[in-house]
A and B are shown apart, each in its own frame.
Chain A
Amino acid sequence: MQDVYVVGAAQSDFGAFPEESYRSLFATALEHALDSVDGQLDRTDIDEAFLGTLGVGGRQLGLSAPSVTEYAGLDGTSATHIENACAAGGSALRQAVQSIRAGMADVALAGGVEIMTDMSGDRTRYWLGVSGETEWERMAGTTFAGVYAQMADAHMGEYGTTREQLSTVAVKNHRNGAKNPHAHLRFECSLEDAVNGTVVADPLNLYDCCPTSDGAGAAILASREVAKELTDDPVRITGSGHASSRVGLFQRPSLTSIPASQGAAKEAYDDAGISAEDVDFAEVHDCFSIAELLAYEDLGFCAPGEAGTYIESGATEPDGERPVNLSGGLKSKGHPIGATGIGQAVEVFKQLRGEAGDRQADGLERGLTHNVGGSGGAVAVHVYEGGWA
């Protein structure tokens, strides 16, 4: 089996860009990703492309991958669309990893793109919650925020997790994201602001929710042989995990954990030959504040029920024992659905190479990305290490 290396990775700015299309944003991300490769790599060297997108707004639904790659100068290259809601990017990454490990590709592109801010008024809201369970959960009036709100309610009730602990996620991630030039919401917020936000779906308020964003990301993966020719500062993907669970929260055995996160983490740790303690830093899927706390527990960073005290201890701050969401996370960096999982890989790539600018953390050797689709229907987890195998 071939070892897999990330040789280049970049994202477009995340935000609201009325002048950009889903194609132009992806072309920008790919351009920057190619520029980030240390040696000479031409786009024609890409053997296989996987593109994560949900297609929010009903733009090109059929053939959405070739419609993007042709625009970016990859006409003729194998191109496949991956849809797993908000985990589409992480799932595309998984496919790219597999294609290189299998020896089918020497260079593979994992990309993601979403445009979410260009729909007209009423249409936008039809797209809210499309990744929730449609026939019963949505009919019950549960919005997407509502499903996570129910998980927050259960976690608070079962473990005594507090309003302040939830809000600490927002405070931390905004402070990190304010240092990220590509982030959508580059402002800091106080704990008082975050506690007193306008209620969206009780107990979650506006500060508990990530924005919807436009954006794209691209990660270029290569076999060891090709990577050796391209860089002296390699980032190896040592673990890949992927799992699914029931789409509707009401059908899952637990309201306070996400089984697919636990399954994907176990597979990724086993694949990398490590355990949770060995993870130095992580980009986790904080679509809502409670989601970051659930991730701490599901990934094994702390015991079940202890995520509130774990974040309160400062463990996941940039100078803590295990920084989480140095990029600002979905909360501040933004959440262009299909691009989110790739954006996480971009941050880990930069941090491991010491290229994260003002938000660079010290002493990082092993990173993790955690990308969740819907409220937990699909999850991708990847582990990355600096250096050659």
Chain B
Amino acid sequence: MGAYLSVPAWWRNLDGRYRLVVGECQECGGYTFPAEGACVECNAIDALTPTEPEGTGTVVAQTIIESGAPPEFTTLLDAEGAIGVVLVELDEGVRVPGMLTDCDPHDIGRGDRVTAVVRRIYEQEGITRYGTKFRPD
């Protein structure tokens, strides 16, 4: 059926779905998102300690999806007309992808300040999926 986030894969990193969690590297002090695998800064393994960042950051890249979204986003796209998706560089220096919320995505761009909030993403296989979205400050 293609690539989507199955329920077991969803449960595996549930902790990082209901709150924003990044990994702090015990080797180099850098941060990695998500908090698993090798450190993106220094490639150290087994060195990431999960930690909750402030959740504040700056938009470094943006897109507005107007068509071609995968089926799990169809309902949202139909309702909203467009989905703003940003890469945010958190103040800790790590980048996190997320949807924009509580705004018109056309009003947001690179350099704008945002804060992470937990929101409903979509429902699939009978489970409502939650995750981090970003709200303009």
Contacts and interface: CB of A to CB of B under 8 A. Distances in A.
Interface of A: 58, 122-123, 125-130, 132, 134-143, 145-146, 149-151, 153-154, 157, 198-204, 246, 248-251, 253, 255
Contact of B71 (A126, A198, A200, A248): A126
A58 B4 CA distance: 14
B3 A142 contact: no
B126 interface: no
23 contacts: A122-B71, A123-B2, A125-B68, A126-B1, A126-B70, A134-B4, A136-B96, A136-B97, A140-B131, A141-B83, A142-B65, A142-B97, A143-B65, A150-B85, A150-B86, A157-B109, A198-B66, A199-B64, A200-B67, A201-B66, A202-B64, A248-B97, A251-B95
A140 B76 CA distance: 12
Interface in B57-93: 60-71, 73, 76, 83, 85-87
B65 A139 contact: no
Interface string B96-110: 111100000000011
Contacts of B76: 141
B34 interface: yes
A135 B69 contact: no
B57 to A, nearest CB: 12
Interface of B: 1-5, 9, 13, 32-34, 40, 60-71, 73, 76, 83, 85-87, 95-99, 109-110, 121, 129, 131
Given A130-B2, A202-B66, A142 B85 contact: yes
B68 A157 contact: no
Contacts of A136: 33-34, 96-97
B114 to A, nearest CB: 13
A201 B5 CA distance: 22
Contacts of B3: 126-127, 129-130, 132, 134, 138
Contacts of B110: 153-154, 157
A249 to B, nearest CB: 7
Residue of B2, B62, B63, B86 with most chain A CB atoms under a 10 A cut-off? B63
Contacts of B1: 58, 123, 126
A145 B98 CA distance: 15
A153 B61 contact: yes
